[in-house]
Structures are given as structure tokens and as C-alpha cells.
Amino acid sequence: MHKFVEKTQSSSQVIYSFRFYFLQGTPVVVTCLQLHRRAEKVATLILEKGKRNVGDHVALVYPPSIDLVAAFYGCLYVGCVPIIIRPPHPHNLATTLPTLKMIVEASNSTCILTTTAIIKSLRSKVCVLHLC
């Protein structure tokens, strides 16, 4: 059985860490402080660049990853409602992209957070689709 939460003692402090298992199979281990700092960065981004208000819905388009977990908590930190959406499949954008758009519209999301890799993939694929 896998341990999902570990407790270690370093000098005078107790450190809790989380072990996340995603599709890659290799566990990702982060401490509470590391996860907190990542979530704070997302929260700051939402407030400063996104100018969102408490109660706004924010679409999170991420593959299963620590980035998704940090974005989820970042939304909660600033009082936004996280809407988790599976990224569109890069080889089947014709059907998965409209589904993503429908979910964003139906959830009344006021902004979308995602990774740079997904943005690059969508830009290149969408351009190719429009050229055909």
C-alpha cells in the first residue's frame, strides 16, 4: 500500500509531504509548503492579471498534474470556483475543442487557466485546422 502523506522530522520541525500519483506512474512528492507557494503564485496571477472577483468561475484546463492541484487551491485561496476541464485531445480537436468551449460557456467561467504547452499545442493545431 502506498503512503500518500508522509511525516518526517527535521531538527525541530515536522514536515508533511504529499505523494501524488498521476498518469505518468512516477509519484510526485511535494511538501505542504511547496504546494502552498505554488498555489499562492496562481492566486496572485488570478488577482493581478485576471482581475477576478470572489465567486467567479475559473476554468482549469490541465492534464492530471501537480499544476492542476496548485491551480485548484489557488482558486480557492482567492474565493474563485475552480472548474476542472480535461484538455482537448491534440489528435481530435474537431470534437474535443467544441466540448471544452461548451463546458466553459455552461459553467460561466470568466477566465481559463492552462499550461504553456497546451496553449502552444492549441495555437499550432487551430492554425492548421483553419488552413485546411
The C-alpha atoms of residue 86 and residue 131 are separated, in whole angstroms, by: 26
Q: Which residues contact 56 (CB under 8 A, 6 or more apart)?
A: 80, 81, 110, 111
Stated pTM of the model: 0.79
Q: Which residues contact 78 (CB under 8 A, 6 or more apart)?
A: 43, 46, 47, 52, 54
Banded pLDDT at 132 (limits 50, 70, 90): very low
pLDDT at 94: 81
For the segment 17-76, what is each residue's pLDDT rounded down to a tens digit? 677 776 666 777 888 888 899 999 999 999 988 788 899 999 999 988 889 999 999 999
- Assign 65 to helix, strand or coil: coil
- Name all domains of the chain by residue range, CATH numbers in brackets: 5-131 (3.40.50.980)
